[in-house]
Chains A and B, each alone.
Chain A
Amino acid sequence: MSREELNIEQLYQDAFKNYKPERNDLSWFDIDSKVARVNFFKFSLTSFNIYYAALVVTTFTLASFLTVNQITGNSEKIPSSPDKELFLPVVNPSADDNLQVFENESVVSEDETSDNLTGKEKLSKEQSAEKSPGIESSTGKNKIPAIRKIDSSLLNSPEISIVHEDLAPDSTIILKEDDVIVRDTILRFEKSSRSKRKKR
């Protein structure tokens, strides 16, 4: 055999062309977790992957957001705490334009109060009424009970709305923005209106 005959290339080609070493230590479990990781980042309809995970997370987030939003919305509508003030709407379908909200202080109905007051008190009351506008009738004579803040513990009765019949004839309710109409006042107003009607 000459140097030229010793063909290294041929020797290696023959030896390694179909070389298949049988090894017992090359099990699937060695790369199982790595393949699982690769599969997770690839989209497949049949297996759980990152796209499904993202979908689940997005759905959960949206659902949580909507639920929280709904709960928050409901709590705004129905006061959960008794300390909260109740805002009642005043309904007077025929005299909508005549409704305004007062800002503060009690303005007591003329019928209820003026009879019981002394002359001096009446005068001071009228003066204060001039300074801070109250609920006045269109003629300026009738005054409607004050609209003021009350303790929330009083707000146990069912919701009350003021209807046109409850108001004195040709009365104007002047209501100012940001004021609070509270239930006891309305109740008092209702009571006085009824007693008036009875008297009549």
Chain B
Amino acid sequence: MISEEILIRECKKHNRIAQKELYETYTPVMFGICIRYAVNDAEAKDIMQEGFIKIFSHIKQFKGKGTFEGWMKRIMINTAITHYHKTRKSRTNRNIDEVDATSIHEETQQQNEISDGIDRTDIDEKNINFDIVEQAGLNVNDLLSALNTIPEAFKLVFNLYCIEGYKHKDISEMLRIDEKTSRTRLSRARNLLQKKIYELSIKKVGK
């Protein structure tokens, strides 16, 4: 296997073989990032391809400060954010600022009742039995499906803050929003995810 240093050097020379090698080496990691920001697999694939093209065209800018994987991840995240801004207007999304927690809660309950027939009217935010969550042993796919149920803007802030480790100040700059908005979105995302995860856990344990 070619070392990372040689790969980078050859990619800077636009060597196709090296580019292919780099792509194949980092595809799983990068796809893991993209899937968290995308709505579905196809969109994740698009973001990843776009990200790799950016990587190949800007690879000369990588001066060796920090890890190469970290640099690539940042490009992927930025690509995902750009993609979000591009597609936001075209999507028939509700204005998330107007969405309040109550309406989301009601909506989620209604959807779940329709989908699995379990009555969740007794689920109270303050009286959640979290042992069920532990028992359920949710896997990555469950967590992803829960993440995909919350509004995209909430998901974006949650991903950037909780998983990538960015600060609210950075997030506000990246998403072109206020810091306060970023905090609010994170809080809402947490609440929604807790409920969703609890519901998923009940469903799993019940089975």
Q: A residues within 8 Å of B by Cβ?
A: 1-3, 5-6, 8-9, 11-13, 15-17, 19-23, 25-26, 28, 30-32, 34-36, 38-39, 42, 44-47, 49
Contacts and interface: CB of A to CB of B under 8 A. Distances in A.
A38 B57 CA distance: 7
Contacts of A17: 163
B193 A8 contact: yes
A35 B134 CA distance: 45
A12 B36 CA distance: 10
Contacts of B128: 3, 6
A1 to B, nearest CB: 4
Contact of B20 (A13, A21, A28, A38): A28
B23 A47 contact: no
A11 B128 CA distance: 17
B8 interface: no
A106 to B, nearest CB: 77
Contact of A31 (B36, B49, B57): B49
Contacts of B139: 15
Given A3-B126, A16-B32, A39-B14, 6 more contacts: A2-B130, A6-B133, A19-B32, A21-B35, A28-B20, A35-B16
Interface in B7-41: 13-16, 19-20, 23-24, 27-29, 31-32, 35-36
Contacts of B16: 35-36, 39, 47
Contacts of A11: 138, 143, 197
Contacts of A45: 13
Nearest to B134: A1
Nearest to B128: A3
Per DSSP, chain B at the interface is: helix
- List 3 A-B pairs, minimum CB-CB distance, nearest first: A1-B130, A20-B28, A19-B32
Interface in B126-141: 126, 128, 130-131, 133-134, 138-140
B32 A38 contact: no
Contacts of B158: 12
B127 to A, nearest CB: 9
A68 B28 CA distance: 58
Contacts of B163: 12-13, 16-17
B118 interface: no
Interface string B120-155: 000000101011011000111001000100000000
Interface centre among A16, A39, A49 (most CB of B within 10 A): A16
A44 B13 CA distance: 6
Contacts of A42: 14, 57
28 contacts: A1-B130, A1-B131, A1-B133, A1-B134, A2-B130, A3-B128, A3-B194, A5-B130, A6-B128, A8-B190, A8-B193, A8-B194, A8-B197, A11-B138, A11-B197, A12-B158, A16-B143, A19-B32, A21-B31, A22-B28, A26-B27, A26-B31, A31-B23, A31-B49, A32-B20, A38-B56, A39-B16, A45-B13
